[in-house]
Chains A and B, each alone.
Chain A
């Protein structure tokens, strides 16, 4: 096949899913000349599974992406059909937003953003081979012989690498939603020495809304107050569409029992490792046989379509069994199935082959992000995409690399888990994975990360000025409440009585009164005179900060210890074989992961405190020897 020079860029991003889109936008916004190469320009930021974004932990990732200047939050704010704040009855640390997306609008909006982005080109094409010289990536070649050259390349191919769809006893080569799989690139990566694992995920059937009897289901509306992911959003969509809830029946369970031998998961057809948190309906019924019913959520896929996503019914049973399953569910007796559910197997690279910047250890200048790294979920993909894009561009632009700590962001937790521990199943973020979740809140994502986004050139001056003003307001108000003494006069006592608290005996600092469980910021504000009008976001920050000061303080102390360990760097050229006394298992793991700091080394399973001590002594020995 004749080849031709198709162009030279600073950064090339292969793939334009949720990881690719963020990577490309970040790179371009930072000022690197960036190309996105995608198989199909109509599938940018496509949602092959749930038409929803956010949720616990994941929703906080979207806020973090936005705080650093990423796109996901802004796009979903413009294209959702419903938005809800979850866990409102719990503490501030675990609140999170979730939106139902209009799938088509979401794609269109993301595509428009990318098209309008300065420094960014969108080309359709299939990457088949990386150009590698002296262990460094220099560009890639497409299926039609186009040679694209670049300083760095980011691969975000999702589940396309050797993708195979499985339905019943059918198995065929395919990307998600029956698109072309990526086979040549998978072979190329294998040749280049990447170790891969075989993962599996699945999706449920879609049905026509007109064929649903909603009277047999329960309505699940969105919140009726304005909500937004992005700190930039000022217009809110209040015209929302509800979701609906129904349940499986004993008949559903019987159908599955009778047809279990046809399920690829049980017939041995499927070999990849599936995620435990996202089991198929057949899995749920086998593993939790004592449960009489399971929830099924009916989620509209958008305003311009009647397609409805049947959440809870992920399956790879043959199509005719899927139809029977639907008919056994109240409200879906006459359901018209438009697309069947399926399982998909794909190659993921073992993520311990990556540095915390998401750059490959064996192939310099190559970055990978998203499902190819063994994760699942749009938000996890987008978060990695953002960081890979930032680092790929930073390298070209001669800027410092950016690694988020576990105490900075959920994105930091996600990437550290991947590159330090690897994963034995498709990785999903859960709040329990974060040690400092009280610090990694939905509400303070901007306070944590906007400064960084601004330094990287991803936050506009105007937004940054607003951010600084908000920060000042919060600090000033906390200072004010700590200084003011509230006297036990009749007005105060009445307010406290009305709130159900016990009356004051003496004067009390406003901040201390706010700490009482029954008090909130507005009550305190009404008892203290102030002429500054504060925004709801500022009030929220002040309240959380004062009320949970003790807990926050404890977390900060732990973070302090973590930081000290993170500052103990491990030299790049360390020779673990030369360190006597390391346990064999620890030596192997250290060689594999190549941790950058002592903190990272302590998180590797199989490396125990004695090994860490020995490592410290060895590093110190080197330091002394050099002096």
Chain B
């Protein structure tokens, strides 16, 4: 549907500009931005005057995580480009964080704008001169065709096949249900029951969830796996850092323009990009906890995708070690027992008990032993499950991710309805919707699919 809903898009050219803008236009633009925007101490965005700009953060309403530091420009109708309410979110963090802000806006109720749609609205609302109409039409045509080309290339291969197979599975269930409804006296068509429906829906839900997870992996592939090295002083943290950096090509970046002067280094470990956080701290004091304080370190740990926890082979476990074990519980971590070149003092059984099924690697960084095993462990951790290195099919397109989120929501609705004894044909409403949304992802919206399925799958008629 167009013209009546609120649209959003990244309105700066793609590529790495210094600032990127997510633009929202439509009746809900202010409300949607308000749901995402946090500015400590000042009043809500929705209560601010028109044509003002505000500093704050974009926050994921679900997790309360901060996604981006932003400036938000608020412009109410009619004195705007589209003559609708417009909100422009200025992001600094490059394409990754802009994409994240856009995703959040879409999840908060905006629809991804069609190519040229802001211009079109501007025209439809009388903002653009009549003589420009032809140009607008050409623009729509050209941009749509190009966008479709891009979408098609992205859709090649596994993702498209996977979505098609999910749709086919749903379609078979829908067709069966339709036959139950339209031919109730036909005894040779099995009656679709709630448990059957539930089973199918749960399978589809988990497949969609997996795909959404790969969208996380896609993000990680672009941004790097945020990695923190921890351990007591003198266990060999800086040696580990140096080994990883030397073995792999490191790109050292200094995050400028922020008050934190944390240095990050990117290394590529067997296809997994690691972003090693607070490397400066490790180099200087060897102890992140000591350097940045307990509170900060907790936060750094919490934001990490991977923790490398280093223990000393030549010493018994201390109280501090146990505390760190406590701190990293429930996180992705690998225990590295370093200094195997020295006589063993550590109680390996105790460590194994504490780590339970977490990966454990022994190294002697001085002797350059165990690095391979560590890299192996990192790669395994990342590529666990069915996703194989070198054949990564991940969802990265914002439109696809947004549709997958919608599909996940509708199939979840179907599941909760099925668990609540709602009649099967009502549950089907959400199942059918899921099928339609998945169809939008792969551009298959032919509406005679269901009838074809119905008549080829079942023998019907008088």
Contact = CB atoms under 8 A, between A and B. Distances in A.
B455 A581 contact: no
A568 B2 CA distance: 11
A91 B137 contact: no
Contacts of B2: 609, 612-613, 616
Interface string B158-191: 0000000000000000100010111111111000
B226 to A, nearest CB: 39
Interface stretch (A156-164, A276-284, A386-394, A477-485): A276-284
A497 to B, nearest CB: 17
A432 B140 contact: no
Most chain B CB neighbours (cut-off 10 Å) among A430, A561, A618: A430
Interface size class of B (residues with CB under 8 A): 35 or more
A91 B130 contact: no
A617 B133 contact: yes
A517 B420 contact: yes
A614 B124 CA distance: 11
A269 interface: no
Interface stretch (A221-229, A231-239, A288-296, A398-406): A288-296
Nearest to A551: B426
Contacts of A87: 181, 184, 425
B407 interface: no
B425 A613 contact: no
Most chain A CB neighbours (cut-off 10 Å) among B114, B184, B461: B461
A232 B182 CA distance: 27
A613 B181 contact: no
Interface in A583-612: 605, 609-610, 612
A53 to B, nearest CB: 14
B347 interface: no
A580 B450 CA distance: 34
Nearest to B129: A624
Contacts of B460: 277, 279
Contacts of A291: 188, 459
B423 interface: yes
Contacts of A94: 181, 425
Contacts of B422: 91, 517
Contacts of B421: 517-518
Nearest to A562: B1
B141 A295 contact: no
A579 B141 CA distance: 12
Interface in A116-146: none
B462 A609 contact: no
B367 to A, nearest CB: 64
Nearest to A283: B461
B188 A295 contact: yes
B76 interface: no
Interface in A44-84: 49-50, 55-57
Contacts of B426: 91, 93, 438, 548, 551
Interface in B130-162: 130, 133-134, 136-138, 140-141, 144-145
Contacts of A320: none
Nearest to A86: B184
Contacts of B400: none
A387 B182 CA distance: 24
Interface string B187-204: 110000000000000000
Interface string B1-15: 111100000000000
A558 B287 CA distance: 58
Contact of B425 (A91, A554, A561): A91
Contacts of A191: none
Nearest to A58: B182
A90 B425 contact: yes
B429 A551 contact: yes
A431 B455 contact: no
B138 A431 contact: no
A543 to B, nearest CB: 13
B62 to A, nearest CB: 21
Most chain A CB neighbours (cut-off 10 Å) among B134, B140, B421, B462: B462
B120 interface: yes
Nearest to A430: B182
A617 B124 contact: yes
Contacts of B178: 430-432
A31 interface: no
B459 A287 contact: yes
A86 B180 CA distance: 11
Contacts of A55: 182
B449 to A, nearest CB: 11
Contacts of A548: 426
Nearest to B138: A581
A140 B426 CA distance: 50
Contact of A91 (B187, B423, B459): B423
B123 interface: yes
B181 A431 contact: yes
A49 B461 CA distance: 13
A217 interface: no
A617 B454 contact: no
B461 A581 contact: no
Nearest to B443: A608
Given A277-B461, A314-B461, A517-B421, A610 B181 contact: no
A109 to B, nearest CB: 24
A294 B2 CA distance: 48
Contacts of B180: 90
A302 interface: no
A346 interface: no
A545 B141 CA distance: 45
A565 interface: yes
A90 to B, nearest CB: 5
A264 interface: no
A294 to B, nearest CB: 7
Contacts of B184: 56, 86-87
A15 interface: no
B424 interface: yes
B292 interface: no
A582 to B, nearest CB: 9
A268 B120 CA distance: 54
A564 interface: yes
Contacts of B130: 621, 624-625
B126 interface: yes
B456 to A, nearest CB: 9
Interface in A421-449: 430-432, 438
A528 B394 CA distance: 56
B451 interface: yes
A294 B459 contact: yes
B461 A621 contact: no
A178 to B, nearest CB: 20
Nearest to A436: B429
B24 to A, nearest CB: 19
Given A278-B461, A581-B140, A618-B137, A432 B4 contact: no
A612 B144 CA distance: 12
A312 interface: yes
Contact of A276 (B4, B136, B140, B455): B455
23 contacts: A50-B462, A56-B183, A57-B182, A87-B425, A90-B180, A90-B424, A91-B422, A91-B423, A278-B461, A279-B459, A284-B459, A288-B459, A295-B185, A312-B461, A432-B181, A432-B454, A551-B426, A580-B134, A605-B446, A613-B2, A613-B117, A617-B140, A620-B124
Given A432-B174, A616-B3, 10 more contacts: A49-B462, A279-B459, A431-B178, A551-B429, A609-B114, A609-B144, A610-B141, A613-B2, A613-B140, A613-B144
Interface of A: 49-50, 55-57, 86-87, 90-94, 204, 220, 275-279, 284, 287-288, 291, 294-295, 297, 311-312, 314, 430-432, 438, 517-518, 548, 551, 554-555, 561, 564-565, 568, 579-581, 605, 609-610, 612-614, 616-618, 620-621, 624-625
Interface of B: 1-4, 114, 116-117, 120, 123-124, 126, 130, 133-134, 136-138, 140-141, 144-145, 174, 178, 180-188, 420-426, 429, 446-447, 450-451, 454-455, 459-462
